[in-house]
């Protein structure tokens, strides 16, 4: 079959991929699937959305090649097609962070109030972990932690932080991380720990970016 204008045909397909990203709930699905494979029902619970709505989003994302699916008994599990999907999401985020006045307003109004310190880079954290200088806490829910986490990280879901913080060494720096660079849980964790007198910072991004950088990851419950 001949194609009259192959460049135009390619651009139309590129636009379909862009369209698949063009929904806030689908971007949130990308963030969740970057933690690991998930069923439609589990994702619906994470986003507090009807299963039918989440299924429609995932089908559109699958048609665009962003996700793949596999049946497991009566459930259908979805995962990101590959790491290029997370990279595309990161590129989209970077453009918005650099050029969107509304993004800047939200960052200044919410995130900067909770953490005005420079975040810890992946390389810095990896070095400090090797030297045994930090306590690393993963503030994601236990099911996400079990799919994969930084080596030696302690699972401290945000709702449990106040109770579990009593066991932390007050003289040791704490580094918190969660799903990604703008995951509010790590910001909230750092703010609460500082209120209690701990030295706390957050990782510059999250578990998916750590894993994509080729750094070690452990799986299993704590």
Measure CA 219 to chain center.
16
**Helices 83-99 and 6-21 sit at what angle, rounded to 10 degrees?**
80
Instruction: Give the separation between CA 144 and CA 80, rounded to whole angstroms.
Output: 15
- The beta-strand segments (E) located in 75-158 are 75-80, 134-138, 154-155
Spatial strand order in the sheet of 200-206: 154-155, 134-138, 173-178, 200-206
178 is catalytic: yes
Of 76, 96, 77, nearest in space to 21 by CA? 96
CB contact at 8 A, 151 and 208:
no
CB contact at 8 A, 189 and 176:
yes
Rg (alpha carbons) of the chain, rounded to whole number:
19
Of 218, 207, 216, 215, nearest in space to 86 by CA? 207
Among residues 67, 153, 165, 178, the one annotated as catalytic is 178
Residues carrying an active site annotation: 178
């Amino acid at each position: 079959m001949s194609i009259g204008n192959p460049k135009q045909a390619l651009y139309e397909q590129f636009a379909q991929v862009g369209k698949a990203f063009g929904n806030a709930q689908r971007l949130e699905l990308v963030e969740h699937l970057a933690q690991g494979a998930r069923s439609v029902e589990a994702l619906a619970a994470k986003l507090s959305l009807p299963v039918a709505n989440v299924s429609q989003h995932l089908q559109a994302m699958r048609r665009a090649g962003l996700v793949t699916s596999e049946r497991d008994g009566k459930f259908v599990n979805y995962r990101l097609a590959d790491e290029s999907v997370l990279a595309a999401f990161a590129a989209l985020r970077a453009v918005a962070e650099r050029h969107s006045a509304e993004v800047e307003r939200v960052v200044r109004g919410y995130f900067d109030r909770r953490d005005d310190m420079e975040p810890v880079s992946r390389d810095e954290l990896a070095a400090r972990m090797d030297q045994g200088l930090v306590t690393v806490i993963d503030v994601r829910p236990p099911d996400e932690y079990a799919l994969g986490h930084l080596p030696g990280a302690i699972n401290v879901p945000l709702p449990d932080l106040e109770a579990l913080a009593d066991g932390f060494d007050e003289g040791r720096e704490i580094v918190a991380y969660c799903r990604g660079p703008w995951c509010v849980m790590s910001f909230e964790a750092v703010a609460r720990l500082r209120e209690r007198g701990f030295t706390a910072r957050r990782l510059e991004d999250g578990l998916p970016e750590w894993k994509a950088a080729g750094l070690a990851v452990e799986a299993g419950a704590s």
